[in-house]
Amino acid sequence: SQMEASDNDLISQLEAKLNEPAYSRPSVSHIKDKYKRGRINSELRRIKVQEKKKRRMDRDRLAKILGDEAPEKQQPKTLESTREPDDTTVNPSDEEVIADEATDEFASHFAGETTTKTLVTTSSKRTQETRKLVKDFLQLFPNSHYRDRKNAPVKEIIDWALENDFTDIMIINEDQKKANGVLVCHLPEGPTALFRLSSVIRRENILNVARGDDDNPEIILKNFTTRLGHTIGRMLGSMIPHDPNFQCRRVVTFHNQRDFIFVRHHRYIFDSFSKARIQEIGPRFTLRLRYLQHGVFDRFGDFEWIQKKEHVTSRRRFFL
């Protein structure tokens, strides 16, 4: 009974601490000396970190004492967790979604009826830096081939790719001698998507980079929740052969967060039966959808979705 009383006292103390308002850093904008303001600001940041750590330790102690009766862990409020509801959000296990997947443009790929073969090319006047990026893309996407575009129009490239049994075309665009866009066209019936390319880090600039191999990687598609996002996810997934070799320990990730698609290429390293880590193979880059068009590329074609300023009515509205 004495032990139970001490536990109850400790629980009451912890709950009282947690119910107190969190530390709020005071403003230092009234201090004119910027060096003094900087020193005080640094000290206030340090205090805030310490107070935050103490509250976290108190929550952990309370949860350990209460066990199953502990309150639920608080979830931080982020733009993703407070995003506006979207009527086009889909459930992958829904019968209607499954029926659509069985008849869409990528159905033959995921059914294993076609072999992925990707043509990679660039804009007409490419720089040497873009040429190096192409080499990294060829290692990222299995069974991909490069063809010099020269001055050929996109329609001519599509016709040549169809004659040579390619399933996808990827055109890396550049502006001011810097790669800034990727046009992806799925063959033979489309769709076509234009992405903005940013935050590119090539393999040679990644610390402790791993050497890739020719085996088919595992693919991870994350947070593609709407109808549009579902289509984009399947489009990106169709560029990787749907026959992963799990023994090669290679994985390609397309992670959507706030309509930015983060592309990462890793391999698993197993230190023991219970412990594993990852090593990056590269390259590393970010995509953002500019438009999605029905069918193969056509400047005057039918567009399913176009990025417009009037669509962005809130910071919490996302489309993928």
Please give the residue that has the higher pLDDT: either 222 or 32.
222
**Contact yes or no for 272/176 (Cβ under 8 A):** no
Q: How many CA atoms lie within 13 A of 286 on its CB side?
A: 8
In this structure, what is the dihedral angle of CA atoms 278, 218, 258, 235, given to the nearest 10 degrees? 160
Checking if the pLDDT of 10 tops 80, the result is no
pLDDT (0 to 100) of residue 221: 92
**Closest by Cα among 224, 240, 229 to 186:** 240
pLDDT (0 to 100) of residue 255: 94
**Closest by Cα among 288, 179, 180 to 236:** 288
**Contact yes or no for 155/296 (Cβ under 8 A):** no
Give the least confident one: 10-14, 106-110, 168-172.
Answer: 10-14
Measure the CA–CA gap between 239 and 233, rounded to whole angstroms.
10
Name the most confidently modeled range: 79-88, 162-171, 239-248: 162-171
Task: Band the pLDDT of 120: cuts 50, 70, 90.
Answer: very high
Measure the CA–CA gap between 100 and 45, rounded to whole angstroms.
52
Checking if the pLDDT of 15 tops 70, the result is no
Checking if the pLDDT of 2 tops 50, the result is no
- pLDDT tens digit sequence for 172-225: 999 888 899 999 999 988 799 999 999 999 999 988 888 877 788 889 999 998
Reduced to 3 states (helix: H, G, I; strand: E, B; else coil), residue 113 is coil
Q: What is the pTM of this model?
A: 0.80
**Closest by Cα among 107, 138, 114, 126 to 234:** 107
Measure the CA–CA gap between 59 and 11, rounded to whole angstroms.
10
pLDDT (0 to 100) of residue 310: 81
- pLDDT tens digit sequence for 223-271: 998 999 999 999 999 998 887 766 778 899 999 998 899 999 998 888 8
Task: Band the pLDDT of 11: cuts 50, 70, 90.
Answer: low
Task: Tell me how crowded residue 179 is: count the other CB atoms within 10 A of its CB.
Answer: 23
Contacts of residue 128, defined as CB under 8 A and 6 or more positions apart, other chains included, come to none
pLDDT (0 to 100) of residue 9: 65
